[in-house]
Structures are given as structure tokens and as C-alpha cells.
Amino acid sequence: MEISGFKYLYARKLRRAMEDGQFMILYDEQYISYTTGEPGIEYVCTHRCRVFSLSESKTHGPSPVKRFVHVLLDDGNFKEKPIIWPNRRGEDGLYLEAAYLNRWYKFHTPIRKGPEDEFASIAAEVFKCRSA
């Protein structure tokens, strides 16, 4: 599989995790974009001991998980960004960025910390492809 294909695999697995009833938003926090000055919300979520960071631009109030699932349904929403990307704490993770209805959405999960699960497997495969 080409590196770009892992983006779609990550999106599909994340969408399934969000729909299985065990995905929980632990907390959310408003932010102001440094580039646009517009509000947004960052979310810290968990699914089976794995932490996910999500963010949504141009919003004042939290969105239901269903909105994130909907964003992940259309591959045309995804932006050309690397699948492995560090978060603000410098932790490499699976990363996906999407645009939908004039908003930006970001999905990140650290890969060094966390359970050996389907997301860790995707990251391992990406690293194999990079080194080949």
C-alpha cells in the first residue's frame, strides 16, 4: 500500500471506533486560531485506552461525535498532509486533516504511547513503507 492509502485506512478505523459506543469525549476546550482569529474547539477523547485529539475550527459550541463521523465519510474532505505528524507536545502520531462545510477538522492519536491496537498497527505499516 502506498503511504497515502494509510490515510483512508486510518479514517475508516477511526470512524468505526467513533460509532461503536465506546468512543468518549473526555473534555473540550475553546481556542482562538492564531492565523484567523476565529474560535474553535479542541477535544480530548478516548477509545479502549487510546487517546485521540480532535479539533474543529470556526465553532463556538461542541459538536456531537456524529459530525466527526460524517466528516470522515468522504475521502474528498481530506487534505494532503503527512499521515505521521507530531502533536504540540512533539509526540508522533497518526494524523488526518479534513475540510468540511468551511471548517477544518484535525484528528490525531499518539503512536508511541497507547495500546497495541489497530491504530498502532497502521503506524507500524507506515514506518515499514517509509523505510523500504
Task: State residue 123's pLDDT score.
Answer: 92
The whole domain housing 25 covers 3-131
State pTM to two decimals.
Answer: 0.91
Are 17 and 115 in contact, with CB atoms under 8 Å apart? no
CATH number of the domain at 21, please: 2.40.15
Instruction: Spell 5-41 as b/e; 16+ CB within 10 A means b.
Output: ebbebbbebbbebbeeeebebeebeeeeeeeeeeebb
pLDDT in tens, the chain (132 residues): 676 789 999 999 999 999 999 999 999 999 999 989 999 999 999 999 999 999 999 999 999 999 999 999 998 999 988 898 888 788 889 999 999 999 999 999 998 777 789 999 999 999 888 776
Q: Structural domain tally of the chain?
A: 1
